[in-house]
Amino acid sequence: AAYAAPQGEVETALAGIWAELLGVERIGRHDQFFELGGHSLLAVQLLSRASNLGLKLSASDLFGAPILKDLASKLNWEPQPGKPGVIPVRAAGSQPALFFVPTGLGDCSYAVKLVSEMDIDCPVYAVPWPDFNERCPPTLEEIASQTIVLIKEIQPSGPYRLAGYSSGGILAYAIAQHLLGLGEAVSFMAFIDVALSENLSSASPTQIVNEVVLEGFETLDDERFAELERFAEQSSISQLLEKAQQIGAIPSKRDLRHDVAMYEKIARFHAALQAYEPPPLPIGIHQFYATEITLPRGERAKNSIDPKATSPLRGWDRVLSAAAIHAMPVPGDHVSMVNSPGNRKSLALSLSKALNGSRKRALRKSKALGKRG
Protein backbone atom coordinates (compact mmCIF):
# COMPACT_ATOMS: atom_id res chain seq x y z
CA ALA A 1 0.00 0.00 0.00
CA ALA A 2 1.09 3.58 -0.65
CA TYR A 3 2.54 5.40 2.34
CA ALA A 4 0.04 7.24 4.51
CA ALA A 5 1.24 9.24 7.47
CA PRO A 6 -0.02 8.28 10.97
CA GLN A 7 -3.05 10.27 12.10
CA GLY A 8 -3.83 11.39 15.63
CA GLU A 9 -1.94 11.05 18.90
CA VAL A 10 -2.24 7.28 19.30
CA GLU A 11 -1.10 6.39 15.77
CA THR A 12 1.76 8.86 16.03
CA ALA A 13 2.89 7.48 19.40
CA LEU A 14 2.74 3.88 18.17
CA ALA A 15 4.59 4.77 14.97
CA GLY A 16 7.40 6.29 17.01
CA ILE A 17 7.77 3.11 19.09
CA TRP A 18 7.65 0.90 15.97
CA ALA A 19 10.31 2.98 14.21
CA GLU A 20 12.69 2.70 17.17
CA LEU A 21 12.16 -1.03 17.74
CA LEU A 22 12.15 -2.10 14.10
CA GLY A 23 14.86 0.25 12.86
CA VAL A 24 12.53 1.61 10.16
CA GLU A 25 12.84 5.30 9.33
CA ARG A 26 9.22 5.91 8.31
CA ILE A 27 6.14 4.08 9.60
CA GLY A 28 2.83 4.46 7.76
CA ARG A 29 -0.65 3.87 9.15
CA HIS A 30 -1.14 0.90 6.79
CA ASP A 31 2.08 -0.83 7.83
CA GLN A 32 1.94 -4.25 9.50
CA PHE A 33 4.13 -4.85 12.57
CA PHE A 34 5.22 -8.40 11.77
CA GLU A 35 5.76 -7.77 8.06
CA LEU A 36 8.25 -5.04 9.04
CA GLY A 37 10.31 -7.54 11.01
CA GLY A 38 8.46 -7.64 14.31
CA HIS A 39 8.59 -10.83 16.38
CA SER A 40 7.50 -11.98 19.82
CA LEU A 41 10.41 -10.42 21.74
CA LEU A 42 9.92 -7.06 20.01
CA ALA A 43 6.19 -7.41 20.63
CA VAL A 44 6.80 -7.59 24.38
CA GLN A 45 9.06 -4.54 24.20
CA LEU A 46 6.31 -2.75 22.25
CA LEU A 47 3.71 -3.59 24.91
CA SER A 48 6.02 -2.38 27.68
CA ARG A 49 6.86 0.90 25.96
CA ALA A 50 3.23 1.53 25.06
CA SER A 51 2.30 0.97 28.70
CA ASN A 52 4.95 3.48 29.78
CA LEU A 53 3.19 6.09 27.61
CA GLY A 54 -0.21 5.24 29.06
CA LEU A 55 -1.43 3.21 26.08
CA LYS A 56 -3.47 0.27 27.35
CA LEU A 57 -2.34 -2.41 24.91
CA SER A 58 -2.50 -6.21 25.29
CA ALA A 59 -0.76 -8.99 23.39
CA SER A 60 -4.08 -10.14 21.95
CA ASP A 61 -4.68 -6.61 20.60
CA LEU A 62 -1.37 -6.66 18.73
CA PHE A 63 -1.71 -10.17 17.31
CA GLY A 64 -5.34 -9.53 16.37
CA ALA A 65 -4.74 -6.14 14.74
CA PRO A 66 -1.07 -5.82 13.69
CA ILE A 67 -1.74 -2.97 11.19
CA LEU A 68 -0.97 0.40 12.78
CA LYS A 69 -4.29 2.15 12.14
CA ASP A 70 -6.29 -0.92 13.23
CA LEU A 71 -4.28 -1.34 16.42
CA ALA A 72 -4.54 2.37 17.27
CA SER A 73 -8.33 2.25 16.93
CA LYS A 74 -8.48 -0.23 19.82
CA LEU A 75 -6.55 1.93 22.27
CA ASN A 76 -7.29 4.71 24.69
CA TRP A 77 -4.78 7.43 25.47
CA GLU A 78 -3.99 7.87 29.17
CA PRO A 79 -0.60 9.58 29.36
CA GLN A 80 1.52 8.30 32.25
CA PRO A 81 5.05 9.04 31.06
CA GLY A 82 7.89 7.15 32.68
CA LYS A 83 5.72 4.69 34.62
CA PRO A 84 6.41 1.08 33.65
CA GLY A 85 3.46 -1.26 34.02
CA VAL A 86 2.52 -4.90 33.75
CA ILE A 87 1.73 -6.39 30.36
CA PRO A 88 -1.75 -7.96 30.16
CA VAL A 89 -1.44 -11.36 28.46
CA ARG A 90 -4.95 -12.54 29.34
CA ALA A 91 -7.35 -10.05 30.87
CA ALA A 92 -10.31 -12.18 32.01
CA GLY A 93 -10.79 -14.97 34.52
CA SER A 94 -12.60 -15.78 37.75
CA GLN A 95 -9.56 -17.08 39.67
CA PRO A 96 -6.60 -15.12 41.13
CA ALA A 97 -4.12 -13.80 38.59
CA LEU A 98 -0.94 -15.54 37.49
CA PHE A 99 2.15 -13.31 37.19
CA PHE A 100 5.04 -14.22 34.88
CA VAL A 101 8.42 -12.57 35.43
CA PRO A 102 11.05 -12.00 32.73
CA THR A 103 13.82 -14.46 31.94
CA GLY A 104 17.43 -13.62 32.76
CA LEU A 105 17.44 -11.75 29.44
CA GLY A 106 14.52 -9.53 30.43
CA ASP A 107 12.24 -11.39 28.01
CA CYS A 108 8.55 -11.96 28.79
CA SER A 109 7.62 -13.05 25.28
CA TYR A 110 7.66 -16.74 26.22
CA ALA A 111 4.49 -16.16 28.24
CA VAL A 112 2.41 -14.90 25.30
CA LYS A 113 2.25 -18.09 23.23
CA LEU A 114 2.44 -20.38 26.27
CA VAL A 115 -0.59 -18.81 27.93
CA SER A 116 -2.58 -18.94 24.67
CA GLU A 117 -2.41 -22.75 24.91
CA MET A 118 -3.15 -23.05 28.63
CA ASP A 119 -6.53 -24.23 29.92
CA ILE A 120 -7.00 -21.89 32.86
CA ASP A 121 -9.61 -19.46 34.19
CA CYS A 122 -7.56 -16.54 35.45
CA PRO A 123 -6.05 -13.27 34.27
CA VAL A 124 -2.38 -13.50 33.34
CA TYR A 125 0.16 -10.70 33.42
CA ALA A 126 3.82 -10.39 32.44
CA VAL A 127 5.74 -8.12 34.80
CA PRO A 128 8.69 -6.29 33.20
CA TRP A 129 11.93 -5.50 34.93
CA PRO A 130 11.90 -2.19 36.81
CA ASP A 131 14.45 0.43 35.80
CA PHE A 132 17.96 -0.35 37.10
CA ASN A 133 20.09 2.49 38.42
CA GLU A 134 23.33 2.36 36.44
CA ARG A 135 25.35 4.17 39.11
CA CYS A 136 24.12 1.91 41.90
CA PRO A 137 23.60 -1.67 40.63
CA PRO A 138 20.61 -3.22 42.41
CA THR A 139 20.46 -6.39 44.47
CA LEU A 140 17.99 -9.07 43.45
CA GLU A 141 16.01 -8.31 46.61
CA GLU A 142 15.71 -4.67 45.51
CA ILE A 143 14.59 -5.70 42.01
CA ALA A 144 12.02 -8.00 43.63
CA SER A 145 10.66 -5.27 45.91
CA GLN A 146 10.25 -2.87 42.97
CA THR A 147 8.55 -5.57 40.92
CA ILE A 148 6.07 -6.19 43.74
CA VAL A 149 4.94 -2.57 43.49
CA LEU A 150 3.76 -3.31 39.93
CA ILE A 151 2.15 -6.60 40.96
CA LYS A 152 0.23 -4.96 43.82
CA GLU A 153 -1.22 -2.38 41.44
CA ILE A 154 -3.04 -5.32 39.82
CA GLN A 155 -3.61 -7.44 42.93
CA PRO A 156 -3.29 -5.51 46.21
CA SER A 157 -3.21 -8.59 48.47
CA GLY A 158 -2.46 -12.31 48.30
CA PRO A 159 -2.43 -15.17 47.92
CA TYR A 160 -0.15 -14.66 44.90
CA ARG A 161 0.64 -17.01 42.03
CA LEU A 162 4.00 -16.63 40.29
CA ALA A 163 5.84 -18.21 37.35
CA GLY A 164 9.30 -17.79 35.90
CA TYR A 165 11.39 -19.32 33.12
CA SER A 166 15.15 -19.94 33.23
CA SER A 167 17.08 -17.72 35.65
CA GLY A 168 14.06 -15.43 35.77
CA GLY A 169 12.56 -18.04 38.09
CA ILE A 170 15.14 -17.06 40.71
CA LEU A 171 13.70 -13.55 40.59
CA ALA A 172 10.24 -15.09 41.12
CA TYR A 173 11.65 -16.82 44.20
CA ALA A 174 13.05 -13.53 45.50
CA ILE A 175 9.63 -11.95 44.92
CA ALA A 176 8.04 -14.75 46.94
CA GLN A 177 10.62 -14.18 49.69
CA HIS A 178 9.72 -10.47 49.85
CA LEU A 179 5.97 -11.13 49.76
CA LEU A 180 6.24 -13.58 52.65
CA GLY A 181 8.24 -10.98 54.54
CA LEU A 182 5.32 -8.59 54.09
CA GLY A 183 2.95 -11.15 55.62
CA GLU A 184 1.42 -12.10 52.26
CA ALA A 185 0.71 -15.65 51.06
CA VAL A 186 2.18 -17.28 47.95
CA SER A 187 -0.07 -20.13 46.87
CA PHE A 188 1.63 -21.21 43.63
CA MET A 189 5.14 -21.08 42.23
CA ALA A 190 5.97 -22.42 38.76
CA PHE A 191 9.59 -22.84 37.68
CA ILE A 192 10.12 -23.49 33.97
CA ASP A 193 13.52 -25.20 33.87
CA VAL A 194 15.02 -23.00 36.59
CA ALA A 195 18.46 -24.20 37.66
CA LEU A 196 20.18 -23.27 40.92
CA SER A 197 23.91 -23.78 40.41
CA GLU A 198 25.87 -25.14 43.35
CA ASN A 199 28.94 -23.02 42.67
CA LEU A 200 29.02 -19.36 41.76
CA SER A 201 30.08 -18.80 38.18
CA SER A 202 33.67 -17.65 37.77
CA ALA A 203 32.58 -15.61 34.76
CA SER A 204 31.83 -11.93 35.23
CA PRO A 205 28.38 -10.58 34.31
CA THR A 206 29.93 -9.06 31.18
CA GLN A 207 31.38 -12.44 30.16
CA ILE A 208 28.01 -14.10 30.76
CA VAL A 209 26.27 -11.56 28.53
CA ASN A 210 28.97 -11.89 25.88
CA GLU A 211 28.15 -15.62 25.79
CA VAL A 212 24.50 -14.67 25.25
CA VAL A 213 25.50 -12.36 22.41
CA LEU A 214 27.58 -15.15 20.85
CA GLU A 215 24.62 -17.55 20.98
CA GLY A 216 22.80 -15.16 18.67
CA PHE A 217 25.51 -15.62 16.06
CA GLU A 218 25.61 -19.44 16.03
CA THR A 219 24.52 -19.49 12.38
CA LEU A 220 27.78 -17.81 11.37
CA ASP A 221 30.43 -19.80 9.58
CA ASP A 222 33.06 -21.38 11.85
CA GLU A 223 35.80 -18.91 10.97
CA ARG A 224 33.85 -15.77 11.84
CA PHE A 225 32.27 -17.37 14.93
CA ALA A 226 35.72 -18.41 16.24
CA GLU A 227 36.97 -14.87 15.63
CA LEU A 228 34.09 -13.43 17.64
CA GLU A 229 34.54 -16.00 20.40
CA ARG A 230 38.21 -15.11 20.81
CA PHE A 231 37.39 -11.39 20.79
CA ALA A 232 34.63 -11.86 23.39
CA GLU A 233 37.06 -13.15 26.02
CA GLN A 234 38.53 -9.69 26.66
CA SER A 235 36.00 -7.26 25.19
CA SER A 236 33.23 -5.17 26.65
CA ILE A 237 29.65 -5.69 25.49
CA SER A 238 29.74 -2.65 23.21
CA GLN A 239 33.10 -3.71 21.72
CA LEU A 240 31.77 -7.19 20.94
CA LEU A 241 28.68 -5.81 19.20
CA GLU A 242 30.82 -3.38 17.19
CA LYS A 243 33.13 -6.26 16.17
CA ALA A 244 30.09 -8.32 15.11
CA GLN A 245 28.94 -5.41 12.99
CA GLN A 246 32.38 -5.06 11.41
CA ILE A 247 32.45 -8.71 10.26
CA GLY A 248 28.91 -8.55 8.88
CA ALA A 249 27.05 -10.43 11.62
CA ILE A 250 24.96 -7.29 12.30
CA PRO A 251 23.70 -4.99 9.53
CA SER A 252 26.06 -2.05 9.04
CA LYS A 253 23.28 0.57 9.23
CA ARG A 254 21.88 -0.67 12.53
CA ASP A 255 22.23 1.74 15.47
CA LEU A 256 23.79 -0.31 18.28
CA ARG A 257 22.93 2.04 21.14
CA HIS A 258 19.69 0.28 22.06
CA ASP A 259 21.35 -3.15 21.87
CA VAL A 260 24.22 -2.03 24.11
CA ALA A 261 21.81 -0.56 26.68
CA MET A 262 19.71 -3.73 26.67
CA TYR A 263 22.68 -6.07 27.15
CA GLU A 264 24.23 -3.86 29.83
CA LYS A 265 20.94 -4.04 31.73
CA ILE A 266 21.08 -7.83 31.42
CA ALA A 267 24.61 -7.74 32.85
CA ARG A 268 23.40 -5.72 35.86
CA PHE A 269 20.66 -8.29 36.45
CA HIS A 270 23.18 -11.14 36.37
CA ALA A 271 25.41 -9.28 38.84
CA ALA A 272 22.44 -9.17 41.21
CA LEU A 273 21.72 -12.83 40.48
CA GLN A 274 25.28 -13.90 41.34
CA ALA A 275 25.15 -12.10 44.69
CA TYR A 276 21.77 -13.58 45.71
CA GLU A 277 21.62 -16.46 48.18
CA PRO A 278 18.10 -17.94 48.15
CA PRO A 279 16.94 -18.83 51.68
CA PRO A 280 14.63 -21.76 52.54
CA LEU A 281 11.01 -20.62 52.26
CA PRO A 282 7.81 -22.31 53.51
CA ILE A 283 6.47 -22.84 49.99
CA GLY A 284 6.31 -25.58 47.39
CA ILE A 285 7.47 -25.18 43.82
CA HIS A 286 6.51 -26.90 40.58
CA GLN A 287 9.66 -27.52 38.54
CA PHE A 288 8.90 -28.14 34.85
CA TYR A 289 12.25 -29.47 33.68
CA ALA A 290 13.48 -30.11 30.15
CA THR A 291 14.26 -33.77 29.48
CA GLU A 292 17.08 -33.01 27.03
CA ILE A 293 20.37 -31.24 27.68
CA THR A 294 21.86 -29.36 24.72
CA LEU A 295 25.38 -27.96 24.96
CA PRO A 296 26.01 -24.48 23.49
CA ARG A 297 28.50 -24.07 20.66
CA GLY A 298 31.06 -22.04 22.59
CA GLU A 299 33.73 -24.02 24.48
CA ARG A 300 33.54 -21.89 27.64
CA ALA A 301 29.78 -22.34 27.75
CA LYS A 302 30.18 -26.13 27.48
CA ASN A 303 32.64 -26.18 30.36
CA SER A 304 30.28 -24.19 32.58
CA ILE A 305 27.55 -26.89 32.67
CA ASP A 306 26.77 -27.74 36.32
CA PRO A 307 25.87 -31.47 36.69
CA LYS A 308 23.80 -30.76 39.82
CA ALA A 309 21.73 -28.17 37.96
CA THR A 310 20.80 -30.71 35.26
CA SER A 311 18.99 -33.08 37.65
CA PRO A 312 15.15 -33.02 37.63
CA LEU A 313 15.17 -30.94 40.82
CA ARG A 314 17.66 -28.56 39.15
CA GLY A 315 19.60 -28.03 42.38
CA TRP A 316 16.74 -26.60 44.44
CA ASP A 317 16.93 -29.53 46.89
CA ARG A 318 19.88 -27.64 48.42
CA VAL A 319 17.41 -24.97 49.58
CA LEU A 320 14.07 -26.77 49.88
CA SER A 321 13.13 -30.28 50.94
CA ALA A 322 12.68 -32.73 48.07
CA ALA A 323 9.04 -33.13 49.15
CA ALA A 324 8.45 -29.42 48.47
CA ILE A 325 9.61 -29.72 44.85
CA HIS A 326 7.13 -31.20 42.38
CA ALA A 327 9.30 -32.09 39.35
CA MET A 328 7.48 -32.63 36.05
CA PRO A 329 9.27 -33.54 32.80
CA VAL A 330 8.67 -31.57 29.62
CA PRO A 331 9.91 -32.79 26.21
CA GLY A 332 12.69 -30.80 24.58
CA ASP A 333 15.73 -28.90 25.79
CA HIS A 334 15.90 -25.62 27.69
CA VAL A 335 14.95 -23.61 24.58
CA SER A 336 12.78 -25.99 22.55
CA MET A 337 10.55 -26.85 25.53
CA VAL A 338 9.11 -23.34 25.11
CA ASN A 339 9.75 -22.55 21.42
CA SER A 340 8.74 -25.85 19.76
CA PRO A 341 4.93 -25.93 19.26
CA GLY A 342 4.58 -29.57 20.33
CA ASN A 343 6.79 -29.20 23.39
CA ARG A 344 5.14 -25.91 24.35
CA LYS A 345 1.73 -27.59 24.18
CA SER A 346 2.95 -30.28 26.60
CA LEU A 347 4.32 -27.60 28.92
CA ALA A 348 1.06 -25.64 28.75
CA LEU A 349 -0.93 -28.78 29.63
CA SER A 350 1.29 -29.66 32.59
CA LEU A 351 1.33 -26.09 33.85
CA SER A 352 -2.46 -25.83 33.56
CA LYS A 353 -2.98 -29.05 35.53
CA ALA A 354 -0.62 -27.89 38.27
CA LEU A 355 -2.23 -24.45 38.50
CA ASN A 356 -5.78 -25.79 38.54
CA GLY A 357 -4.81 -28.51 41.01
CA SER A 358 -3.29 -26.01 43.41
CA ARG A 359 -6.47 -23.95 43.25
CA LYS A 360 -8.62 -26.98 44.15
CA ARG A 361 -6.34 -27.86 47.07
CA ALA A 362 -6.52 -24.30 48.35
CA LEU A 363 -10.32 -24.36 48.21
CA ARG A 364 -10.47 -27.68 50.08
CA LYS A 365 -8.10 -26.32 52.73
CA SER A 366 -10.21 -23.16 53.09
CA LYS A 367 -13.40 -25.19 53.52
CA ALA A 368 -11.75 -27.42 56.11
CA LEU A 369 -10.57 -24.40 58.11
CA GLY A 370 -14.06 -22.94 57.88
CA LYS A 371 -15.63 -26.07 59.36
CA ARG A 372 -13.13 -26.07 62.21
CA GLY A 373 -13.96 -22.44 62.90
DSSP 3-state assignment of 354?
helix
Kindly state whether residues 186 and 210 are assigned to the same domain: no
Domain residues for 305?
87-196+278-372
| The total number of structural domains that make up the chain | 3
Co-location of 173 and 285 in the same domain: yes
Both 20 and 56 in a single domain? yes
Domain shared by 146 and 264, yes or no: no
Same domain, 253 and 283: no
CA gap 60, 222 in Å, rounded: 40
Task: Report the candidate in 272, 282, 332 with the shortest Cα–Cα distance to residue 129.
Answer: 272
Asked, for residue 144, whether it belongs to a domain, the answer is yes
Query: In b/e form, how buried is each residue of 46-85, taking b as 16+ CB within 10 angstroms?
Result: bbbbbbbbbbebbbebbeebbbbbebbebbeeeeeeeebb
Radius of gyration of the chain (CA): 21
CATH number of the domain bearing residue 59:
1.10.1200.10
| 231 lies in the same domain as 282 | no
Angle at 248 between CA 297 and CA 43, to 5 degrees: 75
Of 233, 251, 272, the residue at which a domain comes to its end is: 272
pLDDT 10s per residue in the chain (373 long)?
567 778 877 887 888 888 878 888 788 888 999 888 888 778 878 887 787 777 778 787 888 889 999 998 887 655 444 445 677 888 788 899 999 998 888 887 788 778 888 999 999 998 888 877 665 678 999 999 999 998 998 899 989 999 999 999 999 999 999 999 999 999 999 999 999 876 656 678 888 888 888 887 777 888 888 888 888 888 888 998 899 888 888 877 777 877 788 888 888 999 999 999 999 999 999 999 999 987 655 544 444 455 556 788 999 999 999 999 999 999 999 989 998 889 999 999 999 999 998 776 665 555 554 555 5
Is residue 165 one of the residues assigned to a domain? Answer: yes
Identify whether residues 67 and 12 lie together within a single domain. Answer: yes
Both 368 and 233 in one domain: the answer is no
Are 223 and 319 in contact, with CB atoms under 8 Å apart? no
Prediction pTM value: 0.76
Residues 157 and 248 in one domain: no
124 assigned to some structural domain: yes
Q: Is residue 282 reached through a cis peptide bond, with omega within 30 degrees of 0 on the bond before it?
A: no
